[in-house]
Amino acid sequence: MASHKIKIAARVRPRLEHEIDDEGIQVTHTSGAPSCISVPNPRDVSQIFNFPLSSCYDQNSTQEDIFERDVRPLIDVVYSGVTVTIFAYGVTSSGKTHTMQGTKAQPGVIPRVVEAMFEQKASLQRSSVELSVSYMEIYKDEVYDLLVNRETAPKLPVRENDAGQVFVANLTSFPIKSMEEFDRIYSQASRHRSVGATNLNRTSSRSHAVLTLEVMMTDSTAQRTLTGKMNLVDLAGSENNKLTGNDSTRMAESAAINKSLSVLGQVVHALNQGASRIPYRNSKLTRILQDALGGSSVGLLICNIAPGTKFRQDTLNTLNFAVRTKNVENRPVINERDNRPQPKPHFAAVQPAPAKLAPAVLHAIPVHASGSSAVATTTSNIAAVAGPSRGQRPSKVPRPSAVGPGLLPPLYSRPSSRPSSRPSIPEKMEPVTQLTDKEIDERIARAVEAEVARRLKEREEQERVEQARLQQEKENLALQEKQAVENVKAEPKLPSGVLSPLLKRHRDLDEELRARLAELEQKYERGNKELQLADVLSPASRKKTGRAYVALARAHSEKGDLDVALELYRKAETYVPDNVKLRERVLEIEWAVKNGKDFVPSPKKQRKVRGKKRKVAVERICEEATSLGQSSIGQSSLDDGEDGERGFGDGEGATIKVKEEYEGQTTIHETPAKRTRC
C-alpha cells in the first residue's frame, strides 16, 4: 500500500461547573478548506494561533459525530488485513477516557468499534471470522495484563519477533462471540486499571491503556488468511504538579506519565527530521506504538482539549504535538498468510545446506545438474565420517556447477598429452539423468573419504614442516652458543691482581655503608622514642628536661667520655630542637668522635660590667696628732656603692685609703676621715 499520514482530530470538551472559560478557543468550519481551531496566546491575548486539522469538534459535538466521521471508515481497513491504531491524547481532565470509553448513555469509541466490527463480521459470508480481545496497561513504564487478577499480575516483557514486529509476551487474549461477552470482559478489566484522584480530576487515569481487537478472516476458497488489528489507546494525561496537588505516590506516577509522553514527542520529532535513530526504546509506550508511528499501520490521533483558561498553555502544547504528528508517514501492510499446502520437494531436488555441516565438507559433495532435474544429496553419513571441522578452509573439490569448459563432472576426464596409468574413459558418454539412493550414498562416501584423506595428508605435512622448523631452531641455538663460547675464549685475559684493589675497595665501601645504615636505624628508633616522650610534656617541662640532659652531657664531655656525651646531647636536642647552639655542640662532638680527636669546647665569653665600680678593699688609717703615731685602726670590706665612713673609730688626723678595681685597672684614693668613735 501507499504511504499514509496520521490523521488528526481535535475535540473541545464542554465546560465543567466552576471552571473559568473565556471562550477564547474557537472552532471554525470553512467549505472547501480544512477545519481550524483558534487559541489565544496566554501571554498576549491579542495574538491568536490557528491550527488547521483534519477534523475539529467544538463543545456541542457528540460521541456519534466523532465515530461516524473519523472512526467508522477505519473498520473496513481492519477487515482488509491492516493494523489500525487510534489513540486519545491531551492534558489531564480533558476528556480522553470519556471519548474512548464513554458511558452507557453516551458510549465512546471502544464500544462503538466493537459493535461495528460484529456487524461487519455478519456481512462476511465467504470467510470464517474470529474476533479476540486483549487489554493491557503501562503503569510506571511497566506493562501489566488487565484481563487477569491485577494483584497477582506479573510484569510483562516487550519482545520483537523475527519479522521485526513488536509484541508483549505472555499477554492474555480471549476470543469473543458477541457484544455482551465483550461488555462483560471489558467492564471487569476496566476495574483493574490504575486510577487516582487529583485536584483536577476525581478519576484520573494513572496509566496508559491499550485495548487490542484482532480479527482473523480465513477464506477457504482462496486458501488465505487475513489478520487485521484495531489498537485503541487511552493515554494518560500530562500533568502540571502545581495544579494537581499530588502526594509522593501521585508524583511518582506523574513523573512516569510525563516521561513517556515526552519520549512520544521525541519520536515524532525524530521522524519528522528524518533522523537515523528513532528513540522507540526509550519508553515502553513508544516501543509498543512503534508500528503506529512510522510503521506499517494506519493511525488516528484524537486530541482532547480543555476549554479552561488554566489549561491554555497545555492546550497549545497539545495542538503543537498534533501538528507535528500529522506529518508522520506510515506504510500500511496487509497481513496475509497463504494457507495452500506447500508442494513436497522432489527427492532429487537440491536441498539447502544444513547448518551443522562445515563449509569444507559441504563443498566436497559433488552435485550435478542436467536440464531442470537435479541430484539430491543426503548428509547422514557425512556427519558420521567427517567428524568435527577444524576451521573454514576453501575446499579443493569443485563446487556444484553445470557442465562446461570450467569444471567437469567426475565421470568425465579432459584429454591430456601426459601418459596416465589409469584406464581412459570414453570421451563421449551419455550424461546420468538420475541416480539411485545407493549410488548417491556411494558417491558421498567416496567424497568424504577423499576429503578425510586430504585433511590427514595436510596435517601430516604441517607436522613435518613444524618438526623441521623446530630442528632448525635447535641447530641455530646450538651454533650461537658455540660461537659465544669461542668469543669468550678468544678475548684477552686480564693479569692477576689487577682487580683485587678494586674488589677490596668495594668491600670496604659496603661495610661502611652497612655501618652507616645501622647507625641511622638506631638514631631513627631513638629519635622516635624521645619524640613520643617530648610530645606529652609541656613546653616548660621539655625545656627543663633538655637542660638536665645538657648538664649531664657537659659532665661526661669534661671527663673525656664523648660517646656518652654525644648521646645525651642528642636527647637534649629532641626536647629543644630549636636551640642553635646545642645543634652546633652536637656537630662538634660528632666530628671529634668520627675523627678520633679530643673535644675542646669553645671558650665562654665573659660578661662585661657596665657603669658600676666595685670597691675591693678599704684601709683606714687613724693618725693621732699628739702622742699616738700612725696606727692602723681597722680594715674592713665594704659593699659596692658604700662611702667607707660607717663602722670606723673617730680620731684626729685619720685618713681613709680606698682601693678600686674597674675593668682591670686599680686606683687608690686617700680621703681624710671625720672624727668618730672607734
Determine the Cα–Cα distance for residues 230 and 363; give it in Å rounded to an integer: 50
Q: Do 557 and 601 meet the contact criterion of CB atoms below 8 Å apart?
A: yes
Phi/psi of residue 211, nearest 5 degrees: -105, 125
Nearest to 8 by CA among 398, 340, 318, 288: 318
d(CA 186, CA 192): 10
Strands 336-338 and 373-374: unpaired
In DSSP notation, 43-54 reads S-TT-EEEEEES
Per-position b or e across 529-568, b if 16+ CB within 10 A of its CB: ebeeebeeeeeeebeebbeebbebbeebbeeeebeebbbb
Helix (H/G/I), strand (E/B), else coil: 339: coil
The sign of the CA dihedral 528, 531, 533, 535 is negative
- The three-state (H, E, C) secondary structure of 64-78, written as one string: HHHHHHHHCHHHHHH
- Is residue 91 a known part of a binding site? yes
Is 608 annotated in a binding site? The answer is no
CA distance 176 to 121: 12
Phi, psi for 314 (deg, rounded to 5) = -65, -35
Determine the residue type at 512: E
**Does the annotation flag 276 for ligand binding?**
no
- The answer for residues whose C-beta is within 8 angstroms of residue 66's C-beta and 6 or more apart is 9, 11, 55, 57, 99, 109, 302
H helical segments located in 89-148: 96-100, 109-123
Are the C-beta atoms of residues 23 and 38 closer than 8 Å to each other?
no
Burial bucket for residue 59 (CB in 10 Å: 0-12, 13-18, 19+): middle
Q: Quote the CA–CA distance of 263 and 258 in Å, as a whole number.
A: 9
Strands 166-168 and 158-160, by their bridges, are antiparallel
Show Cβ contacts of residue 231 under 8 Å, excluding neighbours closer than 6 positions.
83, 84, 85, 86, 87, 210, 211, 212, 292, 297
Task: Please name the residue that has the C-alpha cell 469509541.
Answer: 109
| Residues 6 or more apart whose Cβ sits within 8 Å of residue 638 | 615, 618, 644
Q: How far, in Å, CA of 132 to CA of 112, rounded? A: 16
212 known member of a binding site: no
Please tell me the total number of residues recorded for the chain in this structure. Answer: 678
Q: How many CB atoms lie within 10 A of CB 360?
A: 20
Is residue 187 a known part of a binding site?
no
For 505, the enclosing helix (H) or strand (E) is helix 500-535
What span, in angstroms and rounded, lies between the C-alpha atoms of 432 and 370? 8
3-state secondary structure of 225: strand
173 is in an annotated binding site: no
| CA 369 to each of CA 38, 376, 378, 434: distance values in angstroms, whole numbers, following the listed order | 74, 10, 16, 10
- Distance between CA atoms of residues 306 and 452, nearest Å: 80
- The x, y and z cell numbers of residue 291, run together, are 508500528
Give residue 381's identity as a one-letter amino acid code.
Answer: N
Task: Give binding residues for ATP as ranges.
Answer: 90-97
Binding residues are: 90-97
